[in-house]
């Protein structure tokens, strides 16, 4: 397994190099003049030139690139103009916020989608199948900002069940001592059940919103691959041999149907992590998606580059993890 | 073993959290204000390059200036105050005296201390004002607007006496000391931490070194800024609030829900429609102050393109659906700037004599461009809530006249670049000047020096002469004459068509009192009360 991991990591190096070059070039061809935007409306040409020089934007592209790579090698992702803070530090605090939200949303989605997909495949045409269809259609067709706003309106504004959508914690709680920057984990580590509950209640609505969105592809793929597995010869053989229905479904059919589900899970996770900008905006979640979008609108290079690079590394790590997981689920995958 | 270490470290981590807070009781909810805004400061140093609008709030609350403007109550019970820019009150300076030749002003500082405990001295004031005129960018431009251009103008006579020497007589010099730029730093602390930079730019970006009523307890850009009261503040009455939490909530719908549910005390920057709804529902208090010296306008390029012909500019001014724009894009949250009768006065902003009169507009177009024309209208995506419906209404109103308008929505980072090109035939923009004088507005928007705000690239020597005459007018009579003169000229040449003076709206709970409106439009926590 270690050999597989190492060889996979080896193949990832060229893609990382590519990502570094492409993001650098892409941010440079973006329209918009960073320096004059941040210099403000009444800036003199000298002030704009000063900002340009400070950012190194007055240099030629190869020089800028060389500087960027050497900074990168020292672990320096630059400083965001929009927030005035080092990009590395911002990503280090914002990525866990996004990851915590996405993981919780995904967990909820898996808990609902996988059993529902299996049941829908087992009882085609039954009410479970119809429910599955309705939920997946709703999940893909309702945009997340809409479900998010609706959730805020119903559960916070009308019913008052949910706490105020003020981000990761309400204004009067303080964050638990940072260990992992996952508030749920940190508060448990600190033995602070009050903060844990506060963080959990803030998390509930956005996680539900995300879950509804993530549910659709998961439930559909579970149902489809279960149908394919249940149709195959080995299931017929197992049934003919008189194995218990439960064993046939769980041990034989589901295990074989899991590969595409895990692949989809990985894709949905990495997609959600960067793409739940709208959920982050509605719930004032200090996540990485809204950070990157704000930076992009302002032509703020450093955060955009840092974001794309972080995402690329995450994708690579995630794909590696999924590949390794394949080997555990299906021993045949290990050989390939 | 491993598990045990984990448990041990967990309890170690828990310990500080369980320890009771400092000896003084923590401020309760009644003394803590929760403010929600779209985005917060990106720095703590308003003089620094690239500081965002909310940084003005840091300057206001955490730093002191020599003087502040006289507070004037707003109409309506419990609506708080606005200001009178022509009348100054002491802040760090306890008194001041202009020299008999009118070419300098000497300030006597009060006995005040910085957050660090060091007394405030004239040396600190000099360093801070030197910094403002030398640092470049917005700070320097703003200082120059009051004829403060060189460090030599600032003289520390002794520890508590400070003098500003004028390079010319300018009525804006003293008022310009009350804006959020010339605030006073603890120069020793700043220099000590500067790391060799003479103006300590990096350090002051993330640290407050002031003597203001609040210090910054936590600064998390993009999430929140927490302010705690400075109990030793000397430059005004002790603030009632002990702690202020300013949260960044990007979604306006969420900000509205928070204020309506009563969870947030104050909500800034909602779209005009939400303010209108909230004001009508009357559950929360909406205070709208007409922003001094600010106008939403449509600029018509007088230097290139079709609108170099004054008849076409007048045609557009007669064609605009003013009332519809006011209702559909500003939702009534503004002061009309059309339909004036009688000649120009010295008030500013003031309505222009145009109103919707399609027949007159058509006649002018027939004379100037009988075949019709095609043009484009530029607006900022960042202010699209107001500008987009406005642009659509302009397009619709001009179509029947044979003027086809293509809408051009530009993201914030590119908008200024586009304006700087000075080629857009039409543009929608909002200008607001801190210093509330008509000649100040006209200097930026109409003068031949062609600043970025002169979007129309309007050049007229007669206009420049009138503006300059007003800026340095020796007496009230000639001033009034010059002001009426340039407003009359602007009405006739209409390089920009004023639509409305915007209201600056803030929604707050009924229990919140002491609201204070300043030119920078940022919240002043020093006078706010709760309950």
- For the segment A117-130, what is each residue's pLDDT rounded down to a tens digit? 988 988 888 888 89
Where does the pLDDT of residue A31 fall: very low under 50, low under 70, confident under 90, or very high at 90 and above? low
pLDDT of B88 > 60? The answer is yes
On chain B, the residues whose CB falls within 8 A of the CB of A50 are 49, 136-137
For range A214-238, the mean pLDDT: 89
For range A66-74, the mean pLDDT: 87
Between helix B461-471 and helix B438-445 the angle, nearest 10°, is: 140
Where does the pLDDT of residue B99 fall: very low under 50, low under 70, confident under 90, or very high at 90 and above? very high
Q: Does B260 touch chain A if contact means CB atoms closer than 8 Å?
A: yes
Tell me if B416 and A41 make a contact (CB, 8 A cut-off): yes
> What pLDDT is recorded for position A29?
78
- Please state, in angstroms and rounded to a whole number, the distance separating the CA atoms of residues A234 and A229: 9
Where does the pLDDT of residue A334 fall: very low under 50, low under 70, confident under 90, or very high at 90 and above? low
- Please state, in angstroms and rounded to a whole number, the distance separating the CA atoms of residues B259 and B273: 15
Question: What is the sign, positive or negative, of the torsion defined by CA atoms of B441, B446, B451, B454?
Answer: positive
For range A183-192, the mean pLDDT: 87
The C-alpha angle with vertex B439 and arms to B437 and B441, in degrees rounded to 5, equals 75
3-state SS, residue B216: strand
pLDDT of B381 > 70? The answer is yes
Q: How far is CA B89 from CA A260, B93, B161, in A?
A: 72, 9, 17
Where does the pLDDT of residue B9 fall: very low under 50, low under 70, confident under 90, or very high at 90 and above? very low
pLDDT of B22 > 50? The answer is no
CB nearest to A190's CB, from B17, B49, B137: B17
- Please state, in angstroms and rounded to a whole number, the distance separating the CA atoms of residues B357 and B361: 6
Give residues 97 to 156 of B whose Cβ lies within 8 Å of A: 136-138, 140-142
- Please state, in angstroms and rounded to a whole number, the distance separating the CA atoms of residues B299 and B368: 19
Tell me if A39 and B140 make a contact (CB, 8 A cut-off): no
Q: How far is CA A178 from CA A188, B22, B252, in A?
A: 11, 21, 30
Where does the pLDDT of residue B16 fall: very low under 50, low under 70, confident under 90, or very high at 90 and above? very low
- For the segment B301-340, what is each residue's pLDDT rounded down to a tens digit? 999 999 999 999 999 999 999 999 999 999 999 999 999 9
Tell me if B251 and A166 make a contact (CB, 8 A cut-off): no
Where does the pLDDT of residue B6 fall: very low under 50, low under 70, confident under 90, or very high at 90 and above? very low
Structural domain contains residue A286? yes
Structural domain contains residue A29? no
pLDDT of B167 > 80? The answer is yes
Cross-strand bridge partners of residue B497: B298
Q: Testing the interface with A: which of B7, B146, B223, B260 to mutate, by most A Cβ within 10 A?
A: B223
The residue segments making up the domain with residue A293 are 87-335
Tell me if B136 and A179 make a contact (CB, 8 A cut-off): no
* Least confident span in A259-268, B319-328, B401-410: A259-268
Structural domain contains residue A261? yes
Check if the beta carbon of residue B121 is closer than 8 Å to that of residue B181.
no
Where does the pLDDT of residue B512 fall: very low under 50, low under 70, confident under 90, or very high at 90 and above? very high
Tell me if A192 and B14 make a contact (CB, 8 A cut-off): yes
On chain A, the residues whose CB falls within 8 A of the CB of B411 are 32, 297
> What pLDDT is recorded for position A275?
65
Q: Does A153 touch chain B if contact means CB atoms closer than 8 Å?
A: yes
Residue B52, min C-alpha distance to chain A (Å)? 8
Check if the beta carbon of residue B85 is closer than 8 Å to that of residue B69.
yes
Residue B18, min C-alpha distance to chain A (Å)? 8
> What pLDDT is recorded for position B214?
97
What is the pTM (predicted TM-score) of this model?
A: 0.86
CB nearest to A37's CB, from B10, B16, B412: B412
Q: What is the DSSP string of A271-298?
A: HHHHHTHHHHHHTT---HHHHHHHHHHT
Check if the beta carbon of residue B184 is closer than 8 Å to that of residue B124.
yes
For range A193-204, the mean pLDDT: 89
- HSE-CB at B31 with a 13 A cutoff on CA atoms is 13
Cross-strand bridge partners of residue B431: B295
The C-alpha angle with vertex B402 and arms to B399 and B405, in degrees rounded to 5, equals 50
3-state SS, residue B87: strand
pLDDT of B17 > 80? The answer is no
- Please state, in angstroms and rounded to a whole number, the distance separating the CA atoms of residues A165 and A206: 9
- Please state, in angstroms and rounded to a whole number, the distance separating the CA atoms of residues A40 and A42: 6
pLDDT of B3 > 80? The answer is no
Q: What is the DSSP string of A16-71?
A: HHHHHHHHHHHHHHSSS-HHHHHH-TT--HHHHHHHHHHHTTTS-HHHHHHHHHHH
- For the segment B436-480, what is each residue's pLDDT rounded down to a tens digit? 999 999 998 999 888 778 999 999 999 999 999 998 888 899 999
pLDDT of A274 > 50? The answer is yes
Residue B461's Cβ-count burial label (10 Å; 0-12, 13-18, 19+) is exposed
pLDDT of B11 > 60? The answer is no
Closest CA to A206 of A289, A128, A262, A313: A289
On chain B, the residues whose CB falls within 8 A of the CB of A172 are 29, 32, 245
- Mean pLDDT (chain A) is 84
State percent of chain B over pLDDT 90.
75
For residue A167, the domain's CATH number is: 1.10.3720.10
Structure tokens at B109: 């500082």
Where does the pLDDT of residue A336 fall: very low under 50, low under 70, confident under 90, or very high at 90 and above? very low
Q: Which residue has the higher pLDDT, A144 or B378?
A: B378
* Least confident span in A20-34, A132-146, B461-475, B490-504: A20-34
Q: Walk me through the domains of chain B, giving residue ranges and CATH numbers.
A: 26-250+509-530 (3.40.190.10), 294-503 (3.10.105.10)
For range B49-65, the mean pLDDT: 92
- Please state, in angstroms and rounded to a whole number, the distance separating the CA atoms of residues A174 and A197: 13
For range A201-211, the mean pLDDT: 91
- HSE-CB at B246 with a 13 A cutoff on CA atoms is 27
Q: Which residue has the higher pLDDT, A163 or B183?
A: B183
Cross-strand bridge partners of residue A109: none
Q: Does A251 touch chain B if contact means CB atoms closer than 8 Å?
A: no
Domains held by chain A: number: 1
Check if the beta carbon of residue B42 is closer than 8 Å to that of residue B52.
yes
Structural domain contains residue A133? yes
Q: What backbone torsions phi and psi does residue B379 show, to the nearest 5 degrees? A: -150, 160
Most confident of A140-154, A199-213, A287-301, B504-518: B504-518
Nearest chain A residue to B6, by CA: A189
Q: Does B257 touch chain A if contact means CB atoms closer than 8 Å?
A: yes
> What pLDDT is recorded for position B378?
94
Place of tokens 């923009």: B429
Give residues 2 to 41 of B whose Cβ lies within 8 Å of A: 9-11, 13-14, 16-17, 29, 32, 34, 36
Q: What backbone torsions phi and psi does residue B497 show, to the nearest 5 degrees? A: -105, 110
- Residue B78 CB neighbour total at 10 angstroms: 14
3-state SS, residue B501: strand
- Mean pLDDT (chain B) is 90
Cα B502 to its chain centre, rounded Å, is 12
Structural domain contains residue A8? no
Q: Could you check whether the bond before residue B226 is cis, i.e. omega within 30 degrees of 0?
A: no
């Amino acid at each position: 397994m270690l050999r597989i991991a190492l060889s996979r990591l080896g193949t990832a190096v060229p893609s990382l190099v590519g990502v570094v070059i492409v993001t650098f070039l892409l941010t440079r061809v973006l329209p918009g003049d960073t320096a004059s935007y941040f210099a403000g409306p009444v800036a003199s040409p000298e002030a704009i030139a000063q900002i340009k020089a400070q950012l190194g934007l007055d240099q030629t592209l190869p020089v800028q690139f060389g500087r960027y790579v050497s900074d990168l090698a020292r672990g320096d992702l630059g400083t965001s103009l929009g927030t005035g803070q080092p990009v590395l530090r911002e990503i280090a605090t914002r990525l866990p916020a996004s990851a915590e939200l996405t993981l919780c949303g995904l967990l909820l989605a898996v808990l609902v989608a996988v059993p529902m997909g299996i049941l829908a495949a087992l009882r085609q045409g039954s009410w479970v199948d119809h429910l599955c269809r309705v939920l997946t259609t709703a999940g893909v067709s309702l945009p997340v900002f809409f479900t998010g706003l609706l959730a805020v309106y119903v559960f916070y504004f009308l019913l008052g069940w949910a706490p105020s959508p003020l981000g990761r914690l309400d204004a009067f709680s303080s964050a638990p001592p940072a260990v992992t920057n996952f508030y749920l984990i940190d508060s448990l580590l600190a033995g602070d059940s009050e903060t844990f509950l506060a963080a959990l209640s803030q998390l509930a609505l956005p996680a539900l919103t995300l879950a509804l969105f993530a549910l659709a592809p998961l439930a559909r793929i579970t149902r489809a691959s279960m149908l394919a597995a249940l149709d195959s010869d080995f299931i017929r053989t197992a049934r003919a041999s008189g194995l218990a229905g439960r064993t046939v479904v769980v041990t034989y059919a589901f295990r074989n149907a899991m590969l595409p589900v895990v692949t989809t899970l990985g894709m949905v996770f990495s997609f959600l992590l960067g793409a739940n900008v709208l959920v982050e905006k509605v719930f004032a979640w200090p996540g990485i998606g809204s950070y990157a979008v704000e930076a992009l609108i302002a032509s703020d290079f450093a955060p955009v580059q840092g974001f794309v690079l972080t995402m690329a590394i995450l994708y690579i790590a995630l794909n590696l993890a999924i590949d390794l997981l394949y080997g555990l689920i299906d021993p045949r995958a290990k050989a390939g | 073993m491993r598990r045990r270490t984990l448990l041990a470290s967990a309890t170690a981590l828990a310990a500080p959290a369980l320890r009771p807070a400092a000896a003084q009781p923590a401020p309760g909810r009644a003394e803590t204000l929760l403010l929600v805004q779209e985005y917060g400061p990106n720095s703590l140093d308003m003089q620094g390059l690239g500081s965002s609008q909310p940084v003005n709030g840091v300057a206001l609350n955490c730093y002191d200036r020599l003087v502040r403007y006289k507070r004037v109550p707003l109409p309506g019970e419990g609506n708080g105050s606005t200001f009178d820019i022509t009348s100054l009150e002491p802040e760090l300076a306890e008194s001041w005296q202009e020299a008999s030749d009118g070419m300098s002003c000497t300030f006597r500082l009060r006995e005040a201390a910085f957050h660090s405990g060091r007394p405030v001295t004239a040396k600190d004031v000099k360093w801070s004002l030197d910094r403002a005129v030398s640092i470049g960018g917005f700070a320097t431009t703003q200082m120059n607007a009051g004829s403060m251009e060189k460090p030599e103008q600032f003289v520390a006579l002794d520890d508590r006496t400070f003098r500003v020497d004028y390079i010319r007589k300018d009525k804006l010099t003293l008022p310009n000391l009350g804006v959020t730029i010339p605030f006073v730093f603890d120069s020793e602390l700043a220099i000590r931490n500067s790391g060799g930079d003479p103006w300590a730019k990096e350090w002051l970006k993330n640290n407050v070194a002031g003597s203001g009523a609040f210090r910054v307890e936590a600064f998390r850009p993009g999430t929140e800024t927490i302010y705690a009261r400075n109990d030793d503040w000397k430059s005004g009455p002790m603030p009632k609030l002990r702690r202020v939490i300013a949260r960044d909530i990007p979604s306006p719908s969420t900000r509205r829900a928070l204020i309506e549910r009563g969870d947030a005390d104050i909500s800034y920057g909602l779209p005009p429609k939400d303010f209108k709804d909230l004001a009508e529902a009357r559950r929360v208090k909406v205070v709208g102050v007409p922003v001094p010296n600010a106008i939403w306008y449509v600029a018509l390029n007088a230097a290139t393109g079709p609108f170099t012909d004054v008849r076409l500019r007048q045609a557009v001014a007669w064609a605009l659906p003013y009332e519809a724009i006011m209702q559909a894009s500003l939702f009534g949250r503004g002061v009309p700037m059309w339909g004036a009768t009688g000649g120009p006065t010295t008030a500013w902003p003031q309505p222009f004599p145009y109103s919707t009169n399609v027949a007159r507009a058509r006649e002018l177009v027939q004379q100037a461009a009988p075949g019709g024309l095609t043009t484009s209208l530029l607006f900022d995506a960042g202010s699209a809530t107001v500008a987009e419906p406005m642009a659509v209404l302009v397009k619709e109103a001009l179509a029947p006249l044979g003027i086809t308008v293509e809408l051009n929505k530009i993201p914030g980072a590119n908008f200024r670049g586009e304006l700087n090109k000075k080629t857009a035939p039409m543009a929608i923009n909002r200008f607001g000047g801190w210093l509330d004088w008509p000649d100040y507005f006209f200097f930026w928007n109409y003068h031949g020096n062609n600043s970025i705000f002169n979007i129309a690239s309007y050049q007229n020597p007669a206009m420049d002469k009138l503006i300059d005459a007003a800026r340095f007018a020796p007496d009230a009579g000639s001033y009034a004459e010059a002001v009426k003169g340039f407003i009359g000229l602007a009405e006739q040449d209409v390089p920009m068509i004023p639509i409305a003076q915007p209201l600056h709206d803030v929604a707050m709970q009924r229990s919140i009192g002491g609201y204070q409106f300043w030119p920078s439009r940022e919240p002043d926590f020093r006078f706010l009360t709760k309950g």
